[in-house]
Amino acid sequence: MNYKKTYEPANGLTKLCKIGECSLKMLEFSIIQLEPGQEIMFDTEETETAFVILDGRCSIKYDDVTWDNLGIRRSVFEGKATSAYVGRRKKVHIWTSWRVRIAVVQTPIEEDTKGFVVKPDEVRTVVLGKPTWRRDTHFIFDDFTPTKRLCIGEAFADPGNWAGFPPHKHDADNMPAEGILEEVYYFLFQPAQGFGFQRLYSPDGEIDEVYVVKSNDLVEFPRGYHTTVSAPGYNSYFLWAMAGDNKGFFRSSDPEHEWVTALENFIIKNSV
C-alpha cells in the first residue's frame, strides 16, 4: 500500500485522507484553500474537527458563534499557528477577504463538544532532541486543550536534521507506556524546492517504506515506527496530527535505536 499522498493546490476543499479510502480508521485530513472573496461551507458530520490556519486569514462561523479575522502569518515559517476547533454535526461557514490555506483534521466522536480557538500565544513550544536530531515542536491541541481524540502540532527541523528519532511507534494497547494513535505528517519546505525522506516500518516487516517527501506531501502512519530527515540547507516543517482514545505522547522507541535516547539524556545531564 502507498501511504504517501500529494496535495495539488486547488481552490476549495481537497480531501487527502478519508476513512474507508485510506489506510487510517480514525483520522481524516484535508486542505481548504480560498482566494480573496471566496467562501465555503463545511459539514463536520460525526467528527470533531480542527482547522489549523497554515497561512493567510479567514473568518469562521457556525450556529451563533463567529470568529473574525483568524490568522496572522504569511507562511508556516513565520510564527505560530492560529487554529479553531468545532464539534460534531456543525455546518461551518468559512470566508476570507485575503487568501487562506487551512489544514483540516477530523476524527469521529460520539458526543457533543464546545468549539474554541487556539491563538498563537497559547501554543506551547518544546525543543526536542539534540543536534543532529533537534526540532522545535509547537503543541496546538494537546493534553491542555479539550479535544476528545485529537492531538495536533507543528514541527520545525533544522536543515539536515532528523526528527522523531529514535524511530517511534504508537500502535499497541500498553498504557501508559504506549497507546494506539494513528498519525499523519504534512510537509512543507523552505525554500519550497526542498525535500526530505520519511521512513515507516513495522516490527513484523509487513510495512517497510521510505518516501521522498516534498512540499505538500502527506504520509499516513496506521502503525509502525516512523522517523524523518531533511536535506541540508532547507528548513523543514511538518504538521503532525494524531487521533486515538488515549490522547497524548504514549509511544515506544525502536529498541535497536533506543540508546540514542540515553545519549540525549546524558548530554542534557552534563550540560546543566
pLDDT exceeds 90 at position 181: yes
Once rounded to an integer, what is the mean pLDDT over residues 69-97?
97
CA distance 251 to 253: 7
Helix or strand (DSSP H, E) at 161: none
Residues 6+ apart with CB under 8 A from 241: 27, 29, 50, 103, 105, 150, 151, 152, 183, 184, 186
The DSSP code for 245 is S
pLDDT exceeds 60 at position 269: no
- The cell numbers describing 62, all together, are 457556525
pLDDT digits (tens, 9 = 90+) for 136-180: 999 999 989 999 999 999 999 989 999 989 999 999 999 999 999
Residues 6+ apart with CB under 8 A from 67: 59, 60, 61, 84, 117
Given pLDDT bands bounded at 50, 70 and 90, which one contains residue 260? confident
7-269 under CATH 3.90.25.10, yes or no? no
Domain residue extents for the chain: 7-269
Given pLDDT bands bounded at 50, 70 and 90, which one contains residue 133? confident
H-helix segments, the chain: 259-269
Please tell me the predicted confidence (pLDDT) of residue 263.
59
CA distance 194 to 154: 18
Phi first, then psi, for residue 117 (nearest 5°) are -115, 140
Once rounded to an integer, what is the mean pLDDT over residues 231-253?
94
Please tell me the predicted confidence (pLDDT) of residue 83.
98
CB-side neighbour CA atoms (13 Å) of 113: 25
pLDDT exceeds 50 at position 222: yes
